[in-house]
Structure 1
């Protein structure tokens, strides 16, 4: 049976290319070999994502990020010492995407006509998948790099179509994961400007108070690109049942992520081992099941894997070697009682339905 088309709504491709110095156009084993003796990061030699593996897994459309944090004095998190430096890094990341486009490796998707043209290409059986570009929708994970609100318009002009206000720790527009508190005044102003541009708001990484605020203030399309369920993994990074209900009421889609600490409460990053804890791909289905029970259907869950989002195989399900293994969910979901219509929803239809409505 031919592998199904997949959309992955969260990959930090340009961060890996620029800050991890990975040539993602090359085969995965070559990338791993180049890092064999490097010790600067815990995931060296353990990456799971590259463009050939995306093609192998028929992951033909992704939401790809720009990610660059401003770090205020006193913060222990890595980042840039000024918003201008953070902006400059996002522009380096943008240049990498443009270079991949120049090579025919990727193509940017910013509207419905481009989306339909790209889907037609991936449906064309006369062209081998390994000769097709990976489509990408550009998202900004954490808004710190927007020096001021005028920079949002600069970013929209070069194709930015989704924005998350926060990431980890303190933020210029909103505090993020492992923090508490509301949006900043700048964050509220940014939301209003995003509304005018009809940008997609990504609620991932917001504090609980920030989540409630954006759901009250923002009138445009909302998604949770990479989020799991707090009922199963009770920490602030995951969604409560109440938050899930609010997202469903807004027509949102929630992308399940494959970082082990977001899948299984037993996992401690940099300490635990996925194999010893037997954390497999199927563990994510427990999170999807929970959302489906709240929604009453499978129309609000999908994939936002976050693979290689500052981790590799050391923090991924042990039965995943590369992102191409997302195809294993066909059998996993079928074995859990999901019908083919549900599997298609999770693989690509829910994201497509969301995009068609958001961009109509």
Structure 2
């Protein structure tokens, strides 16, 4: 195994960071942080851990990159846009950023399993010096579908290369119910997943509340994954997957991406109050979540990496030994120490998601 194996990150909010956090992700991490000194508009200022140079340094050569824009109605307490049309427009601005990064040679969009395999091969065979210059391959995903104004718009985003959709985010949405909410898919949500199946989308089960989760799995017969989801048995919050949900995803052939948000890693984290030091939280904790899924599955074929790093938080809410996304490489030792083979580690780092895409992204 290469001393730094290839990593596939199944969930990064790159365009949100660029467009809403106003970060030039081409810059070195130290420069991004320096430019935010004295800024107080967002709680994670100066604490970001993701940029394109650090992704290259950590051999994170492929990722699922999101568009995200939630609609929040008149009486909603959640942040979001005041109309679905505004949410649609925001996602189109995010798409424009991805296109500009392609033109700059920083990113390359991947639309098929064949393209994914070819780009993974390019990165695997490249030296560390060569990867410093390679474009990062990205697959486009939509986190929360409030911005999809109609099924005609769904066809349009498929043509733009969108490959996966999570129907909801936090709270109630147009298409169903998400984290900290209750209820099945709405009638529009039932139509959405039916059309997603027809158009060949991947269903991202992340953020679906329990009732919407089971409803979606019953109605959608295409490929399913959970891009950034940890285990409820180890972090007791409805945002995480229960053991019955993990088993159902495994039976569907899904891959579950491990998230590195501290609130998703431990019991008892108090939002906006807790600190990683309160739990002596280290990256090795994620190995417990990996183990938990592997024990349910009976193998290491259904777990991957979906960090959600800089997804509205930074170092103030990550393990103490994670200063940069490149530090994902340090997971090799604790995984090996738990008995995972070289092949297992390669599958967790990238192989499982790559296999899933090879089999399901035509």
Which TM-score applies when normalising by structure 2? 0.98
Could you list the per-position Cα deviations for residues 75-123 of structure 1 after superposition, in whole angstroms to 9, with x for gaps in the alignment? 1111111111000000000000001000000000001232233123213
User: Which sits farther off after the overlay, 259-268 or 199-208?
Assistant: 259-268
Matches of 1:116 and 1:277, distance apart in 2: 39
Equivalent in 107, 117, 136 of residue 138 of structure 2: 136
The residue correspondences of 1:13-28 to structure 2 (distance < 5 A) are 13-28=14-29
Matches of 1:300 and 1:124, distance apart in 2: 25
User: Which sits farther off after the overlay, 332-341 or 201-210?
Assistant: 332-341
Could you list the per-position Cα deviations for residues 149-186 of structure 1 after superposition, in whole angstroms to 9, with x for gaps in the alignment? 11111100111000000001110011111101111100
In structure 2, the residue matched to 1:298 is 300
8 Å CA contact retained: 1:42, 1:270: no
In structure 2, the residue matched to 1:35 is 36
Equivalent in 195, 199, 203 of residue 201 of structure 1: 203
Structure 1 gaps, min length 5: none
Matches of 1:150 and 1:328, distance apart in 2: 44
- Secondary structure at the aligned position of 1:10 is classed as strand
Residue 146 of structure 1 deviates from its aligned partner by 0.5
Could you list the per-position Cα deviations for residues 110-137 of structure 1 after superposition, in whole angstroms to 9, with x for gaps in the alignment? 0123223312321333661110001000
In structure 2, the residue matched to 1:236 is 238
- Secondary structure at the aligned position of 2:257 is classed as strand
8 Å CA contact retained: 1:269, 1:315: no
Could you list the per-position Cα deviations for residues 304-331 of structure 1 after superposition, in whole angstroms to 9, with x for gaps in the alignment? 0000000000000010000000001111
User: Which sits farther off after the overlay, 272-281 or 137-146?
Assistant: 272-281
- Secondary structure at the aligned position of 1:60 is classed as strand
In structure 1, the residue matched to 2:121 is 120
8 Å CA contact retained: 2:123, 2:131: yes
8 Å CA contact retained: 2:66, 2:143: yes
Number of aligned positions between the proteins: 360
In structure 1, the residue matched to 2:257 is 255
In structure 2, the residue matched to 1:309 is 311
The residue correspondences of 1:149-298 to structure 2 (distance < 5 A) are 149-298=151-300
Which TM-score applies when normalising by structure 1? 0.98
Residue 335 of structure 1 deviates from its aligned partner by 1.5
Matches of 2:191 and 2:250, distance apart in 1: 25
In structure 2, the residue matched to 1:332 is 334
Matches of 1:116 and 1:341, distance apart in 2: 17
RMSD (CA atoms): 1.0
Matches of 1:132 and 1:199, distance apart in 2: 28
Matches of 2:305 and 2:145, distance apart in 1: 23
Equivalent in 339, 345, 362 of residue 343 of structure 1: 345
- Secondary structure at the aligned position of 1:258 is classed as coil
Could you list the per-position Cα deviations for residues 225-248 of structure 1 after superposition, in whole angstroms to 9, with x for gaps in the alignment? 000111111211111111111000
Matches of 1:116 and 1:41, distance apart in 2: 38
8 Å CA contact retained: 2:113, 2:359: no
User: Which sits farther off after the overlay, 28-37 or 334-343?
Assistant: 334-343
8 Å CA contact retained: 2:116, 2:354: no
Residue 257 of structure 1 deviates from its aligned partner by 0.4
Q: Given the superposition, is the C-alpha separation of residues 113 and 353 from structure 1 closer, same or farther in structure 2, using an over 3 Å criterion?
A: closer
- Secondary structure at the aligned position of 2:307 is classed as coil
- Secondary structure at the aligned position of 1:137 is classed as strand
Structure 2 gaps, min length 5: none
